[in-house]
Structure formats: C-alpha cells, structure tokens
Amino acid sequence: MPKKTPLREVCPLDTAVVALGGKWKPLIVYQLRPGTKRFSELQRAIPEATRQMLTQQLRQLEADGIVCRTVHPVVPPRVDYELTAMGRELEPVLSALEKWGRRVLAHRSGTR
C-alpha cells in the first residue's frame, strides 16, 4: 500500500505558480491579451514551442479556467482560444513581469 503524504496547508502563491508553471503558459497568456487567436497564430507567435507542448499547455490553461477553447463546426475544423475573465485578471501581473524583465535585460547589458 502506498505511503500517504500528509496534507499541507494550501498556499495561494503555490497554486498560482502551478497554474502558470511551464515554460510556455505565461507566453500563451501574454499572446492572448489582445484577443482571440487560432492555434496556428499561437504557433507562429511562439515558434520555439512544439505543437504537442503548445497543445498540452493550452489544455492545462483551459482546465484551470484561464483560457477558453471554442471549436467551430466547419471543415477543416477551426479552434479559437481566448482568455477567460480569470485569465484577463493576469494582465497586470504579466505587464509587471514584462516591465521587470526589461529592467533585468538593461541590467545585464550594463545600461541602467
């Protein structure tokens, strides 16, 4: 019988890190800020992400209520992704991270 892990207190920060954890999730959310995008548009915007990884991370974001996936009944199938209301709440967080990232880049290049 497997050993049970003791329950630990749920930490909101830990929950947020898990929900946005993964190399591509923050970039996906960032790309969806302006509005709805098709899968192919996300692929072009994040070319380093494999099709499989992009699909996996989009599914996880959908399961966490951050992204909404809409399948249109047409041939060939058309799938759109957009941020949910909860996903849009991440916009100021991502803007702050972007601003901080710019400061890090400036620091690294020696221009403060």
In a domain, 11, yes or no: no
Residue at 58 is within a domain: yes
> Residue 59: how many CB atoms within 10 A of its CB?
12
**E-state strands within 9-94:** 37-38, 67-72, 78-83
Q: Is residue 10 part of a domain?
A: no
> What CATH number should be reported for the domain holding residue 36?
1.10.10.10
pTM: predicted TM-score of the whole model, two decimal places:
0.83
Domain membership flag for residue 99: yes
* pLDDT tens per residue across span 52-94: 999 999 999 999 999 999 999 999 889 999 999 999 999 999 9
Phi, psi of 7 (to 5 degrees): -70, 135
Cα 15 to Cα 56: distance, rounded to the nearest angstrom: 19
- What the block records as the tokens of 9 is 């207190």
User: Is residue 7, in this structure, part of any structural domain at all?
Assistant: no
- According to DSSP, the residues that pair with 72 across neighbouring strands are 78
Q: Which domain holds residue 47?
A: 18-106
**Domain tally, the chain:** 1
Contact yes or no for 68/62 (Cβ under 8 A): yes
